[in-house]
Structure 1
Amino acid sequence: MKKRNKLKILNDPIYGFITIPNELIFDLLEHKYFQRLRRISQMGLSYLVYPGAHHTRFHHALGCMHLMQKAVRVLRFKGIDISDKEEEALYIAILLHDIGHGPFSHAMEHSIVNEVNHEKISLMFMEKINAEFNGSLTLAIQVFKGEYHRNFLHQLISGQLDMDRLDYLKRDSFYTGVAEGNVNSERLITMLTVINDELVVEEKGIYSVEKFLLARRLMYWQVYLHKTSLVAENLLIRVLQRAKELVDNGVALSASNALSFFLKNKITAENFTTDVLETFARLDDYDIVCAMKEWVYAEDFVLSKLSAMIIDRDLLKVKVKKKAFGNNKKESHIEKFKNKYKISEEEARYFIFDGVISNQAYHLNKQNINILYKSRKIVDIVKATDQFNLEALSKPVTKYFMCYPKHKH
């Protein structure tokens, strides 16, 4: 039998050619759980604001692996010992770090799966694949969980300056066209080194780190927490919640088998078994979009109207401000909407709601970004910088929003 060439090269619009380092990685890429990420959008419903934002978790995972290859080369060049096994574990862990994301990335976690976050699901997928691959992911799973004795390996996967953030900021800024988020990930990686098992940035990389933190803050306000994306995501959560409520009350709704399963069953961390995982693996953005296209014609006013708002991009109005909204404003919107459509207050509350958003670009005392001076002194970026605004970036900024229908006369 002719042996298949598994050392492929992929073309990426951001980094150019990405090489697949070995056959095990190739087999993981080919796995159905990983291929599913092609059908999960990286930025949820942000394409309703930025038409180009149609890239997927699949794109992002490959980009992260590419940056990890660069990080390993840089650290080895600086004399940091990374064994071949550790290198492979890094590639596997970063490749699979997002494999547990549900449709539209975060909306599922708040609606039809109760409090089971994507990190936990990612880990379950990794364990399942590990069993199929005769334990060859064991070290990667240890590194991913932070249980391996060399902490800097975990920091490369999950830290404040990890390959995940370096890729998604650059990638999301590229696909949205928001130039403010474009970080120089290549330079940042070139400035990394390891001291006492901790990842640090050489002194000459300080300005690149400042730019990275600023880019992160701007991307959150301008893209991830953009008020229209915020409305769309909240509407999607409510669509799924309403669908679940109707199914609980015996209403038959058309949906794919996988989606029907999650609408009919209350899934929590306790009963998220491997069978449930198998059903979850069949769920992606297409299930949700197809269902909403049908639900536009549902008899239930709430489900029909919410679905149409997303499908036709006729969203709610949203106001964002620095102070919390008074309750009277919300209640008067509810009263108006209730009377207009002759619906109950409970139904009206699906269309009028408020919430809080918070943005913190840098967390002090949580896997800090440390700068290594030529004198070998190590200082946190906030203290090392002469930029006043970095101190400010480490404090959370909170804003309040309220969504309500456009009152057409």
Structure 2
Amino acid sequence: MKSIRDVIHGTIQVDEKLIERECFQRLRYITQNGMAFMVYPSMRHTRFEHSLGTFHLTQKLRDKIKSDVDFNKISKLALYHDIGHLPFSHTFEYGINLLKFINSEKYKEFFDKLSKNFEGKPQLKFHEMVGVYVLQNFMGENDLAQLMINVYTGRIVTDEDKIAKLLINSKTIDTDRLDYLQRDSYYSGAKFGIINVDRLIEVMELDVQKPAYVFPKKAVDDIEHFILGRFHMYSSVYNHCVVEIYNQIMGYAIAKLIDIGEITVDHITEHEKFIEFTDDFVLNKIKELKYRDDIGMRRIYEAIIKRKKYLKAQLFDQDALMFNSIIEDYGNEIYSKVGEYKGKFVFGANKIETSLDDIYIKENDRVSVSANENLYIVKAQAPRYKVCIGVADKDTANDISKYFQEKFNIQLTFRV
């Protein structure tokens, strides 16, 4: 399992000039899994080492590519693919989503400033938009920024685009996922993500024209292990109910810090401010403002800094599916309540599912069949829906329970 040791412990050869760059170095201070460390204390690893691991695994696939593309450019994208992550990674994006309901003008300001270089409406996640901005404006990597745009929007034109998307953002078995599953499994202690990466890399072929990963039938067990391992890591770790609640609490804190002007778009678009814009910046702001009851920061401080837990209610199966459908129709109203209760009420709704896109199984030397069409591959047959609702105290629990019962006929049971 040499590659796992290399990836986890960092014995990876990278051009020092690539990793000395300031914008990349700041990823040392961006937690990879948001607030997961509140439940899994060892999950303190950062976007920095994950980026090194993704680069390392991409390099290991170099010999699989039968094309004359500039592989060094693709490897650089693997290294810098998360360059746009902001404090607490995806948790910051929960805050941006909530900002839409707390202060729509500030929300628009952030997106307008970051999307001015895109034609039409950018089909990118927020951290991907930031990544493009950083590559263009702070690092002078315009060609790499364009490759990032193509990869993350699916605007595939050249073989270089196809290969980069397949290796870094295929949505199934790319090097990004191969790294973070091993890393997060190791640091959380959960065993679901312990996959045999050496075996997968050894037996796979890369079809640039489809583009797709092609495996022999003898690798079916390894593919199943990967697909189901990822499914269970999301179900048990990434979407763990307490992790979800802490993510949403921090999301509210971030949205409110933007609302009151403590975080501005300049923290992203001005180089010096961007370099200092890390997890510690947000935590220090929460500590500074802990007496601001008017914005609910005291309770946020108690939850995040002093670990005073929220009460939680969980919905599964049909109840969670129904909640997800309610969000589609009443999302504005429910998200607005998070602001109304100043973060004393938060929620997260997740749909967890498996995908076999971009994976093919060789039937013989000439024919390969999409894994989605292979009835013998074991996968989760239906999505798993999970909803976690957190409240700061019993009074809020009573209010929220009454609201969901009367409005939607959903019964909530809160417990510690």
The alignment's TM-score, normalised by the length of structure 2, stands at: 0.74
Query: Residue 314 of structure 2 corresponds to which residue in structure 1?
Result: 320
- Whether contact under 8 Å (1:98, 1:119) holds in the other structure is yes
- Structure 1 residues 277 and 398: alpha-carbon distance in aligned structure 2, compared to 1, 3 A threshold: farther
- Whether contact under 8 Å (2:345, 2:390) holds in the other structure is yes
- Whether contact under 8 Å (1:89, 1:143) holds in the other structure is no
Name the CA distance, whole Å, in 2 between partners of 1:208 and 1:242. 45
One-letter code aligned to 1:217: F
Name the CA distance, whole Å, in 1 between partners of 2:19 and 2:339. 46
Name the CA distance, whole Å, in 1 between partners of 2:353 and 2:21. 36
Structure 1 residue 189, shift from structure 2 partner: 1.8
Query: Residue 200 of structure 1 corresponds to which residue in structure 2?
Result: 213
- Whether contact under 8 Å (1:104, 1:285) holds in the other structure is yes
- Any unmatched runs of 5+ in structure 2? 100-106, 112-125, 324-336, 396-416
- Output one character per residue of 1:366-401: Cα deviation in whole Å (capped at 9) or x when no partner: x432222334322222333524x4151xx4322233
- Residues 266-281 of structure 1 aligned to structure 2 (within 5 Å): 267=265, 275-276=269-270, 279-281=273-275
Structure 1 residue 98, shift from structure 2 partner: 0.5
Query: Residue 128 of structure 1 corresponds to which residue in structure 2?
Result: 137
1:398 equivalent among 368, 385, 401: 385
Computed over aligned residues only, the root mean square deviation of the Cα atoms, in angstroms, reads 3.0
- Whether contact under 8 Å (1:93, 1:144) holds in the other structure is no
1:81 correspondence with 2:67: yes
- Whether contact under 8 Å (2:10, 2:49) holds in the other structure is no
- Whether contact under 8 Å (2:354, 2:380) holds in the other structure is no
- Structure 1 residues 243 and 154: alpha-carbon distance in aligned structure 2, compared to 1, 3 A threshold: closer
Name the CA distance, whole Å, in 2 between partners of 1:212 and 1:346. 39
Query: Which structure is higher in helix share?
Result: 2
1:149 equivalent among 152, 158, 161: 158
Q: Which is further off, 163-172 or 100-109?
A: 100-109
Query: Residue 185 of structure 1 corresponds to which residue in structure 2?
Result: 197
Query: Residue 168 of structure 1 corresponds to which residue in structure 2?
Result: 180
1:107 correspondence with 2:91: yes
Name the CA distance, whole Å, in 1 between partners of 2:338 and 2:201. 54
- Whether contact under 8 Å (1:200, 1:370) holds in the other structure is yes
- Structure 1 residues 195 and 239: alpha-carbon distance in aligned structure 2, compared to 1, 3 A threshold: closer
Secondary structure of 1:18's partner? coil
2:238 equivalent among 208, 221, 224: 224
Name the CA distance, whole Å, in 2 between partners of 1:33 and 1:371. 40
Q: Which is further off, 119-128 or 235-244?
A: 235-244
Secondary structure of 2:276's partner? coil
Structure 1 residue 184, shift from structure 2 partner: 1.6
- Whether contact under 8 Å (1:213, 1:361) holds in the other structure is yes
Q: Which is further off, 218-227 or 191-200?
A: 191-200
Secondary structure of 1:69's partner? helix
Query: Residue 119 of structure 1 corresponds to which residue in structure 2?
Result: 128
- Structure 1 residues 286 and 345: alpha-carbon distance in aligned structure 2, compared to 1, 3 A threshold: closer
Identity of aligned residues (%): 27
Name the CA distance, whole Å, in 2 between partners of 1:196 and 1:318. 47
- Structure 1 residues 199 and 45: alpha-carbon distance in aligned structure 2, compared to 1, 3 A threshold: same
One-letter code aligned to 1:27: K
- Whether contact under 8 Å (1:53, 1:176) holds in the other structure is yes
- Structure 1 residues 36 and 202: alpha-carbon distance in aligned structure 2, compared to 1, 3 A threshold: same
- Structure 1 residues 397 and 209: alpha-carbon distance in aligned structure 2, compared to 1, 3 A threshold: same
Query: Residue 256 of structure 2 corresponds to which residue in structure 1?
Result: 242
Secondary structure of 2:296's partner? helix
- Residues 300-379 of structure 1 aligned to structure 2 (within 5 Å): 300=294, 302-322=296-316, 323-324=319-320, 347-348=340-341, 350-362=343-355, 367-379=357-369
Secondary structure of 1:400's partner? strand
Name the CA distance, whole Å, in 2 between partners of 1:65 and 1:13. 10
- Whether contact under 8 Å (1:41, 1:105) holds in the other structure is yes
Secondary structure of 2:158's partner? coil
1:298 correspondence with 2:287: no
- Whether contact under 8 Å (2:7, 2:53) holds in the other structure is no
Q: Which is further off, 371-380 or 109-118?
A: 109-118
Structure 1 residue 147, shift from structure 2 partner: 4.2
The count of residues paired between Structure 1 and Structure 2 equals 343
- Whether contact under 8 Å (1:243, 1:303) holds in the other structure is no
Q: Which is further off, 372-381 or 44-53?
A: 372-381
1:210 equivalent among 224, 229, 232: 224
Name the CA distance, whole Å, in 1 between partners of 2:191 and 2:234. 13
- Residues 1-12 of structure 1 aligned to structure 2 (within 5 Å): 12=6
- Structure 1 residues 352 and 129: alpha-carbon distance in aligned structure 2, compared to 1, 3 A threshold: closer
- Whether contact under 8 Å (1:67, 1:167) holds in the other structure is yes
One-letter code aligned to 1:32: E
- Any unmatched runs of 5+ in structure 1? 1-10, 249-259, 327-343
- Structure 1 residues 301 and 284: alpha-carbon distance in aligned structure 2, compared to 1, 3 A threshold: closer
Name the CA distance, whole Å, in 2 between partners of 1:317 and 1:213. 33
Name the CA distance, whole Å, in 2 between partners of 1:185 and 1:309. 38
Secondary structure of 2:61's partner? helix
- Structure 1 residues 228 and 19: alpha-carbon distance in aligned structure 2, compared to 1, 3 A threshold: same
